[in-house]
């Protein structure tokens, strides 16, 4: 792990951004942030773990919804500033129930067009929270 | 532009991360950062402008190399924390001469495998710098 960490630059909060892309469809699913610990756990277990900034803790992506992401490959950018994981996405990546978090197409005027359909209803999935 | 900006959250440095994806191949090319000004210029001109943190200024992506990125679409994530641009990439996105900045596949031990081939030689493109 040390040799990998030498290739990477974590920011002043100890985080590195990680782009998550669905391997099969090529769709970009989400952008998350990892600590060294999150990266190590992700590589050890083969499932994406993120540092959830709003909760201040390490979480398995899909911990509540069951929509986990199985890691297929990891590439790093030319400067070691960010990560790109290709994954196999279970059901849907977005807490709003869409396959990808990038389901809102926008233009300069702020007009929003919703792309794709809801795969699950957030009210059912997160009702106990 | 104001309505679009209301949907977005810029960080405490006035930046928002933008994932750049090649529309045709689906390859993720790079992760950059935009100020409000960079986003506006990108949407006005249809070419990606970035806030280059190392230089502290707004730059046309590909200003030196000529490898510009023509914007095809913009989507935003569910929380308005990041942008995803699909683009038409001229030649290559990476200053190292590769099509994508994510040309290094890595494993937990830090072993690096280079994906793809160099499209241009950085020494030729950046020789005057």
What confidence score (pLDDT) does residue B15 get?
95
What confidence score (pLDDT) does residue A126 get?
82
State the DSSP string of A74-110.
Answer: EEE-TTSS-EEEEEEE-S-SSTTS-SSS--EEE-TT-
In the block, tokens 């540092």 appear at A51
Residues above pLDDT 70, as percent of chain A: 98
Q: Of A2, A4, A28, which is closest to B106 when you measure between CB atoms?
A: A4
Lookup: tokens for A107 = 């233009």
**A21, HSE (Cβ side, Cα atoms, 13 Å):** 25
Residue A4 pLDDT more than 90? yes
What confidence score (pLDDT) does residue A55 get?
84
Does residue A16 contact residue A33 with C-beta atoms inside 8 Å?
Answer: yes
Confidence at A128, pLDDT banded by 50, 70, 90: low
Q: Which residues contact A76 (CB under 8 A, 6 or more apart)?
A: A7, A8, A82, A83, A84, B102, B104, B106
pLDDT in tens, chain B (129 residues): 999 999 999 999 999 999 999 999 999 999 999 999 999 999 999 999 999 878 889 999 999 899 999 999 999 999 999 999 999 999 999 999 999 999 999 999 999 999 989 999 999 888 755
Q: Of A17, A76, A105, which is closest to B17 when you measure between CB atoms?
A: A17
Which residues from chain A sit within 8 angstroms of residue B17, using beta carbons? 17, 31
What confidence score (pLDDT) does residue A129 get?
52
The answer to whether B12 contacts chain A (CB < 8 Å) is no
Phi, psi of A42 (to 5 degrees): -60, -45
3-state SS, residue B38: helix
Which residues from chain B sit within 8 angstroms of residue A73, using beta carbons? 105
Whole-prediction pTM: 0.96
Would you call B4 and A108 a contact, using CB atoms and an 8 Å cutoff?
yes
Q: What is the pLDDT of residues A52-89, one digit of tens each?
A: 878 889 999 999 899 999 999 999 999 999 999 999 99
């Amino acid at each position: 792990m040390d040799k990998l960490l030498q290739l990477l630059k974590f920011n002043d909060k100890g985080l590195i951004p990680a782009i998550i892309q669905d391997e099969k469809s090529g769709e970009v699913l989400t952008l998350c942030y990892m600590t060294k610990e999150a990266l190590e756990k992700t590589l050890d277990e083969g499932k994406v773990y993120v540092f959830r900034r709003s909760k201040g803790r390490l979480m398995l992506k899909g911990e509540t919804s069951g929509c986990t992401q199985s890691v297929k490959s990891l590439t790093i950018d030319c400067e070691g500033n960010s990560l790109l994981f290709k994954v196999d996405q279970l059901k849907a990546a977005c807490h709003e129930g869409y396959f990808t978090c990038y389901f809102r197409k926008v233009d300069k005027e702020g007009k929003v067009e919703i792309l794709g359909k809801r795969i699950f209803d957030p009210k059912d999935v997160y009702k106990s929270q």
